[in-house]
Amino acid sequence: MKAMQKSLMTAAVVAATALSGAAQAEGISDDKVKIGVLADMGGVYADICGPGCVTAVEMAVEDFGGSVLGKPIEVISADDQLKPDVGSAKVRQWIESEQVDTVAGLVSSAVVGAATKVLTDNKKIALISTAASNAFTTSSCSPYNVHWTYNVTAVANGTVKPMVQAGKKKWFFITADYAFGHALEKVATDVVEQNQGEVVGAVRAPLGTTDFSSYVLQAQASGADVVALANAGADTVNSLKTAAEFGLTQTADVAGLLVFTPNAQAMDPSTAGGMTLTTGFYWDYDDATRAWSARFKERHGAIPAMGHAGAYSMTMHYLKAVEAAGTDDSDAVMAKMKEMKPDDFFARNATLRADGRMVHDMYTVKIKNPDERRDGDDIFKVVDVLAGDQVYEPMLPECNFAKS
């Protein structure tokens, strides 16, 4: 009996060793690591993470050496057209027909919501660089979501809280009418009310609208101390321009809750100058950010937005995790990504939590007035550094995937 038990145990050990050896031998599936970049290539968000995010991911691959574990790294890209059905269909095609291992970029929260469902169902990693909604590490969290650059909670806490505490108590929202705008308005409203302020009204504008006059007139009639622009990209530029044309900027503070550097460049500095906002990155922060940004501008033709820098940073972290794991298997790579500490020109004092939220320093900045600027790229003045654990929401128990 003992001899039989010993033989069975030996057989089990041999089998386990064989399986382990097979897994190690597999290493990189399909003999390459393939990264898909899904983003808005020609719409209102193209400047903040369209072709520029493709450039950033390609730079990361090149800086990594172009291969990992002896296998080549390939980057492909597609335009999601800001349509959830288009984005999710492209991701499905990539996974089923083109052996894509991970998808980066990921801009519009509505598109990302659809894309991450497909990725999670197929156990593929989502490298979310530019979507703002906090749902991807809260209500729609997944063991395969990595949310890197910022979210609505961080920008709301960084921008709204100090303004309410400074006496700006009455708020009105002009909000992008889809998942991102709704989430940003909700989080910002919570911050206003938690600090004894009140929301006196809100309107929702379709994504990509060019006529903000009716929304600005409603904001003007509200008597608000602050009109908050819960939108992004070209929508922020157009709504601020209209606010200035109607004289709203003379009677109330206009707060851009999510302003990227290309959008700040497009704003009239005589109108936008002095606006305070929160960002996850600024190209002119220190020598490290300037060095990387100069390389990016040389290739892309413009200074980077935070989504571009985030796309580079998270791609490098992903590739380092593949190398450390010895495989491109998503579960093994995710474990390494969360085990390893992000640390580069973008990720400062950073931690990748078990829920996939990358917590890192954020920055309070002011848009410079015309007479403060040395050239067209000199946009922001960094006012304060905000510790990540002070601005990001805590992890939900049900999203702590390290427990499973």
Residue 23 lies in a domain: no
Q: Do residues 111 and 163 both lie within one domain?
A: no
Q: How is residue 403 annotated by DSSP?
A: G
Under the banding of pLDDT at 50, 70 and 90, the label for residue 26 is low
Q: Are residues 57 and 133 in the same domain?
A: yes
Instruction: Give the chain's domain count.
Output: 2
Q: Are residues 323 and 298 in the same domain?
A: yes
Domain boundary among 234, 260, 279: 279
State percent of the chain over pLDDT 90.
88
Q: What is the CATH number of the domain that holds 178?
A: 3.40.50.2300
Mean pLDDT, rounded, for 354-368: 96
Q: Is residue 388 part of a domain?
A: no
| Same-domain status, 46 and 61 | yes
With bands split at pLDDT 50, 70 and 90, how would you rate the model's confidence at 403?
Answer: low
Q: What is the pTM of this model?
A: 0.89
193 in a structural domain: yes
Q: Residue 173 domain-assigned?
A: yes
Is 26 domain-assigned? Answer: no
Residue 2 lies in a domain: no
Strand-pair partners of 126: 103, 145
163: how many CB neighbours lie within 10 A of its CB?
Answer: 21
Q: Which domain holds residue 180?
A: 153-279
Tally of CA atoms within 13 A in the half-sphere of 222 that contains its CB? 26
* pLDDT more than 70, % of the chain: 93
In a domain, 365, yes or no: no
Q: What is the pLDDT of residues 173-227, one digit of tens each?
A: 999 998 889 999 999 999 999 999 999 999 999 988 989 999 999 999 999 999 9
120 and 93 in a single domain? The answer is yes
Q: Which residues contact 150 (CB under 8 A, 6 or more apart)?
A: 132, 278, 279, 280, 306, 310, 362
| 64 assigned to some structural domain | yes
Q: How confident is the model at residue 402 (pLDDT cuts 50, 70, 90)?
A: confident
